[in-house]
Structure formats: structure tokens, C-alpha cells
Amino acid sequence: MERPPKIGKNIQQLRNSQGFTLNVLSERSGVSKAMLSQIESDKVNPTVATVWKIAQGLSVEIHALLAGSVVPKRKFLINRYENITTLDTDAEGVHVHVLSPLSMVEDLEMYILSFEPKSRLDSEAHFPKTEEFLTVVKGHVRVKAGENVGDLKKGDFITYHCDVDHTIENIGNSEAKVHLVVRYNQQIDTTL
Amino acid sequence: MERPPKIGKNIQQLRNSQGFTLNVLSERSGVSKAMLSQIESDKVNPTVATVWKIAQGLSVEIHALLAGSVVPKRKFLINRYENITTLDTDAEGVHVHVLSPLSMVEDLEMYILSFEPKSRLDSEAHFPKTEEFLTVVKGHVRVKAGENVGDLKKGDFITYHCDVDHTIENIGNSEAKVHLVVRYNQQIDTTL
DNA sequence: AAACCTTGTTTACTATAATGAAAATAGTTT
DNA sequence: AAACTATTTTCATTATAGTAAACAAGGTTT
């Protein structure tokens, strides 16, 4: 996005798709229909509060209205096993395979983690709102996130927030392997 | 988010974290420092265009500034293998394990797909901007997305947009298994 | 086709976002 | 601590977002 987003079309499209008239949306959102009309034709420069009220009336996130009409780039990227970068962690016996090359996706990272017997990976609290999604591919692991603990076996799935210290450890006596998705919600949280 | 977002703290925090003064940010963004000061203390109700300019000056997406200060719910949800819902698809020999229960995550879905020999899964074009991230856990598969084709073996990773018809098929003579992440970018696209 | 209704636009006005300059506050140096 | 500098806040003014009411355009009904 190189210039301020034109949100008029987005709003109009959403309004029409839900079959709302300007009057209806005006009632639902608390924004005058005159303003709605002008916003839809990009004649004015609405405030955040107004756009937010419109989003409420349309039952969508404000992001949906601000999204620029960017032509989707059609992606088709293969990352071969032999090309996958393998990080050796500071933790003994833990190997990290980075599936998603950096900048492939804005806010998602995917890894395969392999744990030798009795090895563990300690992570400090990430940025607020970061969450991890872990699927056990092989073996037995224990996941701790803050106060919480869970033992998992092959095929189990867990999701947790990682704004607290968390660890993954191999509790079996053979190699363990997990598939890990980390989502960075780069939203700023002021409550911390 | 139940009321219009208070963006002042977000901006101030980001500005400070980058070591910018109001003057610097004013120059970088083209917004007067007086306005910046008032916005940061939530005394005014800025325009979308203004907030967007500030985001530019801070080198972040506008979304980062609008994010509400919601207290993060700390998630720790385990989905045991035996409880995982298994869908039998219309496709013969393809089994879908839904790792992430619906509504666990807004816009991410995770699956383990198992393919008996010679089986395949055809998917129609999803909503615009949907992307899939596939890791081969076992066996050999061929992925097609529109014009593109790729053969993958265990450990390979691929990401592709799926606003076109796409298929995943087992091209080996034993069971194949893949880990699939689907991300629904529910942003509105006006160019279609 | 005139009267009526429904939906969207334009107009006149008010409230307030945005600006530049001045005042205040905080932080350093002599 | 006074003098100086850097940073933020307040003030007075201008530009414009937002509103309510009138207007215009399209479609139905009688």
C-alpha cells in the first residue's frame, strides 16, 4: 500500500453483499447516511472512529474495510527438504528445520523440530499475542506454557499462547518430532 | 473490540521503541507534531488518512496501530489424537484429520491428510487470497494449483495460493501423509 | 401520468480534526 | 541554580468531517 487506502468501494461492496440500504447501515452503525454516501464515493476522509462504527454495522473487522485492493500475487513456492535450512539451537539435541523461508509469509513461521531423547527446548516469552500450534509427528513430548503442562503423543495437537516462558521436551526414549506453526500477531498490546 | 480503538498508546509505544521524537515522526509522516501529541493522548479522533501516514512514518502496517488493547486470553488447548474429528471426504481413500477445532483460531485451519495409494483430493477455488502450507510427513505427493505442478517427498514443504482449482494426490505406492495449514485471508478484494 | 415510496446525492450548517506558533516541561551544562 | 537545549503540550486559526434536511432519480401503484 503506497497511498492512503480508498475504502469506499470496500464498504459499498460489503453493504450490497449483505443487502443493506444506506438507511439500514446508517441505523446499524450510527453513522448518518449522508456521510455513508460520501465515504462510499471517497469524497471525504473519514475518522477511524467512523470507519470502526461502519465495520460494526457490517459485522466485519475494521481491517476488512481498510484492506487495499491489491491484486493477489499467486504463489507457488516449493522448499525441498535438502534445501531446508537447519538451525542448531543452543539447546543440546534439538534441531530446527525452517519450512517457511523468511518473508515467505508475513506473520507465519513453520518448523519441524526434532528432539533427541531427553532433550528440551526452552523459549522465553515472545511478543504479546504470539501463538503456537504444535502437532506431534513422532514420539512423546511435554509442553509447558507458564503454569500449564500437557503430555502429548504422536498425532496430538496443541495450541497455546506464548507470551510466557514455554518449553517443549522429549519425554520418550527415542527421537521425537513435532510440526510447529508460530503466528506472530504483530499487534501492539498495551496492557502488558 | 467493543468500542472504537484507542490508538494513542500504540503509536507512542512504537515511536518510543524506535527512538523517534515527535519532530522526527512529524517529518517522516507529514503529520504535524501538534496532531501527533493529541493523537497519542487520545484527545482527538484522527482520520484514517492521518493514521495511515503515521503508520508509514513508523514503517508498520496501519493494522498495527488500530489493534485494540484487548487483554490476551491465554490459550492452552490440547486436542488428543483419539478426539480428533476425522472427516471422510468424497474422494476415495483420502482421510482428513481436523487438528484445530473450529473457532479455535479465527482464520487458520490445520489438518493431517492421509492418502491411500493412488488417491487424490480435488479442491475447488477457495475464497480469494486463501493460501495453503503443506508439509509432507510421509510418502510422495503431487500438488497442482492452477497451471503449477510440483512433486514432493517426505520433508518437502510447499506454499501456494488456492484461489484456483488445486489437487493433492498420492503418487507413491504406499500411504502418504501431509500436514496442511489453510489460512483464510478474509480481506475483501475488489479486483475480482 | 400523477401520486407515492424507496434509495442515494447534494446542500447548509455545526463540530472538530489538523496546522503553525507560542508556552510549558524536562533534561544538561556551566 | 541559572541558562540553555531538546521535547512535548497548549493555543488560536483554518480546513474539513459529520449531521439533518432538502433534493433528485428510479421504480410501483392507482
Provide the CATH number for the domain around residue B116: 2.60.120.10
| C-beta atoms of A81 and B150 within 8 A | no
Of B66, B97, B113, at which residue does a domain stop? Answer: B66
Q: What is the pLDDT of residue A187?
A: 40
Q: Are residues A124 and A55 in the same domain?
A: no
A156 interaction partners in chain B (CB closer than 8 Å): 78-81
Residues whose CB is less than 8 angstroms from the CB of residue A21 and which lie 6 or more positions away in sequence, other chains included: none
> What residues of chain B, 24 to 83, have a C-beta less than 8 Å from chain A?
45-49, 51-53, 60-67, 69-81
Q: Are residues B24 and B106 in the same domain?
A: no
Q: Are residues B56 and B107 in the same domain?
A: no
CATH at residue B30 = 1.10.260.40
Q: What is the pLDDT of residue B177?
A: 94
* Residue B85 beta carbon within 7 A of nucleic strand D: no
Cα A189 vs. chain centroid, distance in angstroms?
15
Neighbours of B103 (CB within 10 A): 6
Q: What is the pLDDT of residue A87?
A: 61
Q: What is the pLDDT of residue A186?
A: 45
B110 lies in some domain: yes
pLDDT, tens digit, 9 for 90 and up, residues B137-192: 999 999 998 888 889 999 888 888 877 788 999 999 999 999 998 876 544 333 32
For residue A92, count CB atoms less than 10 angstroms from its CB and return exposed for 0-12, middle for 13-18, buried for 19 or more. Answer: exposed
Mean pLDDT of all residues belonging to chain B? 79
Residues whose CB is less than 8 angstroms from the CB of residue B79 and which lie 6 or more positions away in sequence, other chains included: A156, A157, A158, B99, B100, B101
Q: Are residues A96 and A155 in the same domain?
A: yes
Q: Are residues B110 and B27 in the same domain?
A: no
A3 lies in some domain: no
Q: Per the structure, how many domains does chain A have?
A: 2
SS3 A142: strand
The closest of A174, A108, A7 to B185, measured between CA atoms, is A108
> What residues of chain B, 125 to 164, have a C-beta less than 8 Å from chain A?
128-129, 131, 133, 135, 137, 145-146, 148, 150, 152-161, 163-164
B181 interaction partners in chain A (CB closer than 8 Å): 108, 110, 133, 181
Q: Are residues B22 and B107 in the same domain?
A: no
Neighbours of B23 (CB within 10 A): 10
* Residue B34 beta carbon within 7 A of nucleic strand D: yes
Of B66, B94, B114, at which residue does a domain stop? Answer: B66
Q: Are residues A93 and A154 in the same domain?
A: yes
HEC string for chain B: CCCCCCCHHHHHHHHHHCCCCHHHHHHHHCCCHHHHHHHHCCCCCCEHHHHHHHHHHHCCCHHHHHCCCCCCCCCEEEECHHHCEEEECCCCCEEEEECCCCCCCCCEEEEEEEECCCCEEEECCCCCCCEEEEEEEECEEEEEECCEEEEEECCCEEEEECCCCEEEEECCCCCEEEEEEEECCCCCCCCC
Distance B44 CA to D7 C1' (A): 21
A73 lies in some domain: no
Q: What pLDDT band is residue A182 in, cutting at 50, 70 and 90?
A: confident
Flag the least confident range among A67-81, A142-156, B62-76.
A67-81
Place of cell 498425532: A155
> What is the residue-level pLDDT of chain B in tens, covering all 192 positions?
566 777 888 888 888 878 888 989 999 999 998 999 999 989 999 999 999 999 888 888 787 788 644 334 455 666 666 666 666 566 678 888 877 654 445 567 788 999 999 999 988 765 556 788 999 999 999 999 888 888 999 988 888 887 778 899 999 999 999 999 887 654 433 332
Q: Are residues A99 and A170 in the same domain?
A: yes
Q: Are residues B120 and B149 in the same domain?
A: yes
- Chain B 32-71 residues in 7 Å CB range of strand C: 32-35, 38-39, 43-47, 49-50
A169 lies in some domain: yes
Enter the C-alpha cell of residue B127: 475464497
Q: What is the pLDDT of residue A9?
A: 86
Q: Are residues B29 and B96 in the same domain?
A: no
**Does ipTM exceed 0.85?**
no
The DSSP 8-state label assigned to residue A47 in this structure reads: B
In this predicted structure, the answer to whether residue A173 has a pLDDT above a threshold of 90 is: yes
Q: Find the domain containing B30 and state its range.
A: 8-66
A115 lies in some domain: yes
Neighbours of A97 (CB within 10 A): 21
Cα B173 vs. chain centroid, distance in angstroms?
34
A75 lies in some domain: no
Q: What are phi and psi of A163, to 5 degrees?
A: -90, 15
Q: What is the pLDDT of residue A1?
A: 54
A144 lies in some domain: yes
Which nucleotides along chain D are within 7 A of a protein C-beta? 6-11, 16-21
A152 lies in some domain: yes
Q: Are residues A58 and A109 in the same domain?
A: no
